[in-house]
Amino acid sequence: LAKTTQPISMDSYEGQEVNITCSHNNIATNDYITWYQQFPSQGPRFIIQGYKTKVTNEVASLFIPADRKSSTLSLPRVSLSDTAVYYCLVGRYNNNDMRFGAGTRLTVKP
Amino acid sequence: EAGVVQSPRYKIIEKKQPVAFWCNPISGHNTLYWYRQNLGQGPELLIRYENEEAVDDSQLPKDRFSAERLKGVDSTLKIQPAELGDSAVYLCASSADRAGEQFFGPGTRLTVL
């Protein structure tokens, strides 16, 4: 399983764009990159998943460079309610086998 | 559609007592996961089921933890006897076969005194 490295914490202000980068140097050819969000007292919630280049949905964008050794989750115009822990996971899509790291604790300030 | 259901939400027991957690996954989801999450850490996978079969239980402390998923639907995770270090949130998740997205329940917060 590919190991992931993320910043422990980040601070931002309402209305700003937030970029959280995850390093996964030993990502395998068949591995996908998935991001989850977790609020206090709740289970994690799926945000976005991608394999290469860029993926965008109504919540976030995921940027993956050509070498796929890192990825960046981009949250546009964050609000206070985006304060949460964000996890980057790497694993094979059809294997349902991924591991959570410690995540990045994002704090959005007014 | 109902999400993943877990019960109880909270449980307080004394050490050496047994405890059980129950999970009902989303209907039709073949894959079921049990995680343990300690304060300030990410979820740690304990066991993963594909239907009735436990396909990954390498992180399950088998001396005191057990799990079952009869009929490939509901699942129960048991600890006997509980230790102080077992205090954590126990999360259940499910996913459709061959899909990457896991759906998590609210978790059971266990406190061992």
Q: For residue B8, what are the CA distances in angstroms to A17, A21, A65, B113?
A: 38, 36, 43, 17
**What architecture is domain A9-109?**
Sandwich (2.60)
Looking at residue A47, its amino acid is I
In a domain, B20, yes or no: yes
Q: Which of A45, A93, A102 is facing B42, going by the closest CB pair?
A: A102
Q: Within 13 Å of residue A26, how many CA atoms lie on the same side as its CB?
A: 5
In a domain, B14, yes or no: yes
Closest C-alpha to B93, from B57, B60, B56, B48: B48
In a domain, B56, yes or no: yes
In a domain, B108, yes or no: no
The model's pLDDT over B18-58, given as tens digits with 9 standing for 90+, comes to: 999 999 999 999 999 999 999 989 999 999 998 999 988 88
The C-alpha R_g of chain A, in whole angstroms, comes to 13
- Nearest chain B Cα distance for residue A94, angstroms: 4
Nearest chain B Cα to A94, which residue?
B98
In a domain, B111, yes or no: no
Closest C-alpha to A7, from A70, A76, A79, A54: A70
Range of lowest pLDDT (A89-98, B24-33, B76-85): A89-98
Q: Quote the pLDDT of residue B106.
A: 95
The model's pLDDT over B60-74, given as tens digits with 9 standing for 90+, comes to: 999 999 999 988 899
Q: How buried is B92 (Cβ within 10 angstroms: 0-12 exposed, 13-18 middle, 19+ buried)?
A: buried
CATH number of the structural domain spanning residue B15: 2.60.40.10
CB contact under 8 A, B98 and A94: yes
CB contact under 8 A, A43 and B107: yes
- Nearest chain A Cα distance for residue B20, angstroms: 19
What's the domain range around B73?
A: 5-100
In a domain, B33, yes or no: yes
- Number of structural domains (chain B) is 1
- For the record, the structure tokens of A71 come out as 């990825």
Where does the pLDDT of residue A87 fall: very low under 50, low under 70, confident under 90, or very high at 90 and above?
very high
A→B contacts (Cβ < 8 Å), by residue, are: 32, 34, 36, 41-46, 49, 85, 87, 91, 93-94, 96-103
In a domain, B112, yes or no: no
In a domain, B31, yes or no: yes
List the Cα angle B71/B24/B44 in 5-degree steps.
Answer: 105
Q: Quote the pLDDT of residue B98.
A: 52
Closest C-alpha to B22, from B111, B113, B112, B105: B105
Q: Quote the pLDDT of residue A91.
A: 84
CB pairs under 8 A between A and B: 55
Q: How far is CA B38 from the centre of its chain?
A: 13
CB contact under 8 A, A101 and B105: no
Judge whether residue A61 has pLDDT over 60: yes
Contacts of B44 in chain A (CB under 8 A): 100
Looking at residue B17, its amino acid is Q
